[in-house]
Amino acid sequence: MFRSHTCGELRLEHANSTVTLAGWVQTVRKFGSITFVDLRDRYGITQLLFGEELNSQLDANPLGREFVLQVTGQVQERSNKNPNIPTGAIEIKVSSFNILNKSAVPPFTIQDDTDGGDDLRMKYRFLDLRRNAVKKNLELRYAVNRSARNYLHEHHFMDIETPFLIKSTPEGARDFVVPSRMNAGQFYALPQSPQTFKQLLMVSGYDRYYQIVKCFRDEDLRADRQPEFTQIDCEMCFVEQEDILNTFEGLIKRIFKDVKGIDYTDKVERMSWEDAMWTYGNDKPDIRFGMQLLNLKFPAHTFPGRPSISNLIDGANFGVFDNAETVVAIAVPGCSEYTRKQTDELTDWVKRPQIGMMGLAFIKYNADGTLKSSVDKFYDEARLKAIAEAAGAKAGDLILILAGAEERTRKAMSELRLEMGKRLGLRKENEFKLLWVLDFPLFEYDPEENRWVARHHPFTSPKPDQIKTMIDNEPSIKDAARYLEHPYANIKANAYDMVLNGNEIGGGSIRIYQRDLQEKMFAALGMSEEEALHKFGFLLGAFEYGAPPHGGIAFGFDRLCSILGGSESIRDFIAFPKNNSGRDVMLDAPSTIDDKQLKELSIATKLND
Ligand code: ASP
């Protein structure tokens, strides 16, 4: 028997029993003739006491950090107990020990507060994984995985594997490709997601499918993206949107319960995409706090049917507002006493290139009811008060106003709102607020190619009452500057995203399941008939053999774990992640391959300058 117990298991009640432990040496402390060793394994740390009688053996076989050690001895009560660890009441009085393996001196300390920088820890990730902080994250990931599987299994979902070596399935990113040796000059693509496979499984009658599966996207990596990441991927047939929302709301609530012990009993709020953009400037709003946008001015075609309130700012001869496409405000609670220095700092904040605004206007709605503003040259107190109150401000609040082009200004205000929420402590780590965002636009305009692209992916169905708009109108855009006036711009999709604390954690849609509508969709995206057949002939063909109505969703598993774990980075929740340039610094991949391998693949490399 290698070990009788783990290093996290022994308590006072085990005193006097003889045990054998195995693990890694975390620290060695010598006090006169006795030596204390902290022995670590996955389950915890146990203190070992080597008495004087073992000194000559220890001298002959000195212990070092991260040595792999097996010890046998008696459990005894400790005189100075450590209340901070579960095994802190006992120690093992070692009677014999066996060094199972030595270790080189590790490049950083394997403790909660390590001295290793990011790069070093990534290079020696197998050592970093020994640290508690990282282990806790992987344990949480496994708990989420188990919880999801249990829930889905109980709801009759079946885990079915789908292939990795496939044909390109465009979902908005570039494919990773794999050359085929047996088919010279031809390539597989790695799946951006199992989208078309899960739809085919519906055609095959597996009415509830799931998979916790790797997806591969060759994107320019923004700070917190990985080229390979994991989804909880699901599909159902004979369902409507409502069934999907209920089923997967249930899944996330179950994960909250199992992993965090949180009873999320509230119904998940729902908001249309348009309302989200209008109220928060963002399609994944953090609804843990208010500070909703006051739309003082906006282009009518962006939000058709919303009443204009620009009379609140019009006619004051203030060029910045008069010439802006969009003017938006938020009321920041309790900040009317901001100093000049603080408002200047906020102005600099919105002028940073990432935010890109020219300036920031503000109104201080003082506690005594008076108003002071950076624009009081143009607006008298009554008008300032009207603006402040329209923004929902009370005495004591600070109103921040941005003006400029619609898209940029809305985005900037959304960022400013989040920043102020953070500064005021309104984005609490331990508060979780879910939201369904519904009714996304079906299409987005791609100015570079002057055509429509699918906002979600090409298999997403339009709202039933808008199918006719899609069929009756040609996709071509004659005047790029006025693309928003094209009938396609207002077609909404049967698509939904689940948002948690301002992060999109999942998204999906009710799919197209009729061949003719799917063909029309490909045509709307500028695909010729031949191209559609070449890329998606298999799916179009399958739709001719009794395809049932179906829909699904996929959750970003890594992101979900990072939010539940209270971390900003998904990397912390992946055992072997890549760095921000998509490199695995431990393996040193990607790397070149030798000429023999290239030859077998019938490939010659020629790098572009
Ligand atoms: N395959 C989609 C994605 O990866 C999710 C879905 O529509 O189910 O975003």
Q: What's the number of CA atoms in the CB half-sphere (13 Å) around residue 478?
A: 5
Which residue has the CA at smallest separation from atom 1 of ligand 1? 195
Question: Span 128-153, mean pLDDT?
Answer: 97
Do residues 63 and 192 both lie within one domain?
A: no
In a domain, 120, yes or no: no
Check if 552 has its Cβ closer than 6 Å to any atom of ligand 1: yes
- Mutation test residue for ligand 1: of 233, 239, 496, 560, the one with most atoms within 8 Å of CB: 233
CATH (domain of 373): 3.30.1360.30
How far apart are the CA of 524 and the centre of ligand 1, in A? 20
Do residues 389 and 310 both lie within one domain?
A: yes
Check if 506 has its Cβ closer than 6 Å to any atom of ligand 1: no
Q: Which domain holds residue 238?
A: 133-266+555-598
- Under 8 Å between Cβ of 506 and 248: yes
> Residue 402: pLDDT above 90?
yes
Check if 169 has its Cβ closer than 6 Å to any atom of ligand 1: no
Q: Read off the pLDDT band of 158 (50, 70, 90).
A: very high
> Residue 561: pLDDT above 80?
yes
Do residues 412 and 486 both lie within one domain?
A: no
Distance CA 537, CA 539 (A): 6
> Residue 413: pLDDT above 70?
yes
In a domain, 114, yes or no: no
CATH (domain of 56): 2.40.50.140
Question: Span 288-312, mean pLDDT?
Answer: 94
In a domain, 79, yes or no: yes
252-293 confidence digits (pLDDT tens)? 999 999 999 999 999 999 999 999 999 999 999 999 999 999
Do residues 413 and 479 both lie within one domain?
A: no
Radius of gyration of the chain (CA): 30
Using the atom order of ligand 1, give the atom closest to the CA of residue 459: 7
- Mutation test residue for ligand 1: of 157, 162, 169, 171, the one with most atoms within 8 Å of CB: 171
**pLDDT recorded at residue 169:** 66
**pLDDT recorded at residue 170:** 66
Q: Read off the pLDDT band of 566 (50, 70, 90).
A: very high
Do residues 294 and 420 both lie within one domain?
A: yes
- Under 8 Å between Cβ of 34 and 50: yes
308-361 confidence digits (pLDDT tens)? 999 999 999 999 999 999 999 999 999 999 999 999 999 999 999 999 999 999
How far apart are the CA of 231 and the centre of ligand 1, in A? 9
> Domain count of the chain?
4
Do residues 146 and 241 both lie within one domain?
A: yes
Do residues 336 and 388 both lie within one domain?
A: yes
For residue 73, what are the β-bridge partners?
A: 19, 94
432-483 confidence digits (pLDDT tens)? 999 999 999 999 999 898 999 999 999 999 999 999 999 999 999 888 888 8
Check if 195 has its Cβ closer than 6 Å to any atom of ligand 1: yes
CATH (domain of 228): 3.30.930.10
Do residues 253 and 169 both lie within one domain?
A: yes
Distance CA 401, CA 293 (A): 10
3-state secondary structure of 492: strand
Do residues 567 and 450 both lie within one domain?
A: no
Amino acid at 15: A
How far apart are the CA of 460 and the centre of ligand 1, in A? 10
